[in-house]
């Protein structure tokens, strides 16, 4: 089955700096890669996604890049703000199920 | 507010109790899911329902029993649980169940925090 690895497990940045979270996947048939943000006391919320026919996608301060050859994808957050502090999950959709990474706890220091 | 509600938000139960978790989605979606979220572990898919029919059971112990009476409601019946079952149980829904179309959970509820004593 699909295996998704996510790094780092924790990330602390200063407000205004950029944050990068990286994921690798194992199933070359995976073709859909969403990212979720989970704030305290809430369920995960989809923040951006990318399909395998696209290499990069942006939405205001967040962007996702995909390297199909290397089987890795990354989340980039620019000009971080304290409200970006949360746990971020990557996921990869393989032949059957959506497999999640183990999460990255992002702390943005004011 | 994602359009997916879960009750109760917190539940404490003993190992001999029987309880049920409820999920309701107001999005007109056809697929609904139960996930388990434990500390320091990835989200685990438990069950998938598509048009009220169970299409996936990820080797979940029988002490967890799902029920989907219609496309808007999903229950998880719990009985004789173990302390290691303590976790956040998340319900999710999506329009399409297939991974390629973004299925297996696009809209999550807030979860039920379950503690088994």
Tell me what percent of the residues of chain A surpass a pLDDT of 70. 97
Give the pLDDT score at A88: 97
CB contact under 8 A, A43 and B104: no
Of residues B19 and B40, more confidence is placed in: B19
B56 neighbourhood in chain A, CB within 8 Å:
96-97
Residue of B41, B45, B102 with shortest CB distance to A49 = B102
Give the pLDDT score at A2: 83
Give the pLDDT score at B105: 56
CA distances from B58 to A5, A28, A47 (A): 20, 22, 26
Give the pLDDT score at A108: 98
| Residues B6 and B21: beta-carbon distance below 8 Å | yes
Instruction: Find, in chain B, the residue whose alpha carbon is nearest to that of A104.
Output: B40
Q: Could you give the CA distance from residue A80 to residue B66 in angstroms, rounded to a whole number? A: 40
The model's pLDDT over B26-55, given as tens digits with 9 standing for 90+, comes to 999 988 999 999 987 888 999 989 888 888
Query: What φ, ψ does residue A28 adopt, rounded to 5°?
Result: -65, -15
Total beta-carbon pairs less than 8 A apart between chain A and chain B:
59
Residue of A32, A100, A101 with shortest CB distance to B100 = A32
Q: Does A96 touch chain B (CB under 8 A)?
A: yes
CA distance B4 to chain A (A): 10
Tell me what percent of the residues of chain B surpass a pLDDT of 70. 91
Tokens standing for residue B11? 């539940």
Q: Could you give the CA distance from residue A75 to residue A6 in angstroms, rounded to a whole number? A: 11
pLDDT reading at B1 higher than 90: no
Count Cβ neighbours within 10 Å for each residue of B78-113 and write b for 16 or more, e otherwise: beebeeebbbbbbbbbbeebebeebbbbbbbbbbbb
């Amino acid at each position: 089955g699909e295996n998704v690895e996510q790094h780092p497990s924790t990330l602390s940045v200063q407000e205004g700096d950029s944050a990068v979270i990286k994921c690798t996947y194992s199933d070359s048939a995976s073709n859909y890669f969403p990212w979720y943000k989970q704030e305290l006391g809430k369920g995960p919320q989809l923040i951006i996604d990318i399909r395998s026919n696209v290499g990069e996608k942006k939405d205001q301060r967040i962007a996702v890049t995909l390297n199909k050859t290397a089987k890795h994808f990354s989340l980039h957050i620019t000009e971080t703000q304290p409200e970006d502090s949360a746990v971020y999950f990557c996921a990869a959709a393989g032949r059957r199920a959506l497999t999640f990474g183990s999460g990255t706890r992002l702390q943005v220091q004011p | 507010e994602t359009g997916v509600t879960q009750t109760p938000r917190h539940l404490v139960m003993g190992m001999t109790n029987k309880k049920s978790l409820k999920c309701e989605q107001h999005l007109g979606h056809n697929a609904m899911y139960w996930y388990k979220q434990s500390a320091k572990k990835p989200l685990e898919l438990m069950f998938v329902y598509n048009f009220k029919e169970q299409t996936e059971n990820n080797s979940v112990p029988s002490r967890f029993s799902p029920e989907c009476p219609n496309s808007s409601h999903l229950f998880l019946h719990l009985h004789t649980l173990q302390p290691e079952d303590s976790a956040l149980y998340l319900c999710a829904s999506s329009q399409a169940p297939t991974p390629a179309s973004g299925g297996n959970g696009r809209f999550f509820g807030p979860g039920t925090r379950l503690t088994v004593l």
